[in-house]
């Protein structure tokens, strides 16, 4: 069973053809890593699924077409998004960032679960999000997405620009979240991908060039050929 099916997705931005018929599936209750060199269209794919860009083709969430829907309706139908560069609301407090995201009437349990995952956010609830470190802002961004019941979580480069210690912390959190949530993860950190992903998609020049299990990630030659990096870490 697939939570998300993307079929023949084409996207043009300012006359540039970015995605050329992208097709892939995200299996339910698994972590799918979307990999590829910089600029191959990974983030564009996520942003098109989110409704930020217009595209042609099909994006189905549990069998229901969501391509062309407004972003807020896509989110309400169960797609949560953790953007690249966090995009927390810098002038709002941590608590305000979270309460903006919480959609249900009684969210006590959701807040408790999030604060269990990120105890630091509870102690910093009154602090402006803009004054947090990069790692703490990433926690806010992930926490916002986890406050609601989601069908799938789209996570765009969660460890980008973080110090190695924070990368480990974020990886721990994602590994925990992955136990209960379907996730489509764009990530350059292969160590993290190897740790959490059960399904791998590789893109090149706006197309999917590989879709399958993560076992090839342990093959240095394959990794070098597909991703242009060594298999250890990037």
**Residue span binding another protein (CB under 8 A) among the ranges 54-62, 74-82, 112-120, 177-185:** 74-82
Site membership for another protein, residue 100 (CB under 8 A): yes
Give the interface size with another protein as a residue count (CB under 8 A): 22
Which CB sits closer to another protein, 85 or 172?
85
Considering the complex, what minimum distance in angstroms separates the CB of residue 13 from another protein?
14
Give the residue, chosen from 25, 60, 96, 151, that forms a contact with another protein under the rule CB under 8 A. Answer: 96
Site membership for another protein, residue 90 (CB under 8 A): yes
* Among the listed residues 184, 89, 106, the one whose alpha carbon sits nearest the alpha carbon of residue 98: 89
The string of DSSP letters for the chain reads -EEEEEEEEEEEETTEEEEEEEEEEEETTSEEEEE-STTSSHHHHHHHHTTSS--EEEEEETTEE-TTS-HHHHHHTTEEEE-TT----TTSBHHHHHHHH--SS--HHHHHHHHHH-HHHHHTTTSBGGGS-HHHHHHHHHHHHHTS--SEEEEE-TTTT--HHHHHHHHHHHHHHHTTS-EEEE-S-HHHHHHH-SEEEEEETTEEEEEE-GGGGG-HHHHHHHHSS-SS--
The β-bridge partners of 9 are: 22
Site membership for another protein, residue 83 (CB under 8 A): yes
Site membership for another protein, residue 91 (CB under 8 A): yes
Considering the complex, what minimum distance in angstroms separates the CB of residue 100 from another protein?
6
Which CB sits closer to another protein, 17 or 103?
103
Site membership for another protein, residue 218 (CB under 8 A): no
Considering the complex, what minimum distance in angstroms separates the CB of residue 172 from another protein?
24
Give the residue, chosen from 144, 157, 177, 196, that forms a contact with another protein under the rule CB under 8 A. Answer: 144
**Residue span binding another protein (CB under 8 A) among the ranges 22-30, 83-91, 108-116, 157-165:** 83-91
Question: Under the rule (CB under 8 A), what is the footprint of another protein?
Answer: 50-52, 70-72, 75-76, 81, 83, 87, 89-92, 96, 99-101, 103, 144, 148
């Amino acid at each position: 069973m697939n939570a998300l099916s993307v079929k023949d997705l084409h996207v043009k931005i300012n006359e540039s053809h970015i995605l050329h018929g992208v097709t892939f599936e995200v299996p339910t209750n698994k972590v799918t890593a979307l990999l590829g060199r910089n600029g191959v269209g990974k983030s564009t794919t996520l942003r098109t699924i989110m409704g930020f860009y217009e595209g042609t083709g099909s994006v189905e969430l549990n069998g229901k077409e969501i391509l062309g829907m407004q972003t807020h309706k896509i989110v309400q139908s169960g797609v949560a998004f953790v953007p690249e560069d966090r995009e927390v609301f810098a002038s709002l407090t941590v608590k305000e960032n979270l309460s903006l995201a919480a959609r249900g009437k009684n969210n006590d349990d959701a807040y408790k679960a999030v604060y269990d995952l990120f105890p630091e956010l509870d102690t910093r609830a009154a602090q402006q999000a803009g004054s947090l470190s990069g790692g703490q802002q990433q926690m806010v961004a992930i926490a916002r997405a986890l406050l609601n019941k989601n069908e799938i979580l789209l996570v765009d480069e969660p460890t980008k620009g973080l110090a190695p210690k924070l990368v480990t912390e974020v990886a721990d959190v994602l590994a925990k979240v992955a136990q209960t949530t379907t996730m489509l993860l764009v990530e350059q950190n292969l160590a993290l991908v190897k740790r959490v992903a059960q399904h791998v998609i590789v893109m090149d020049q706006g197309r999917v060039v590989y879709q399958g299990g993560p076992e090839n990630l342990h093959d240095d030659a394959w990794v070098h050929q597909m991703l242009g990096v060594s298999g250890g870490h990037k």
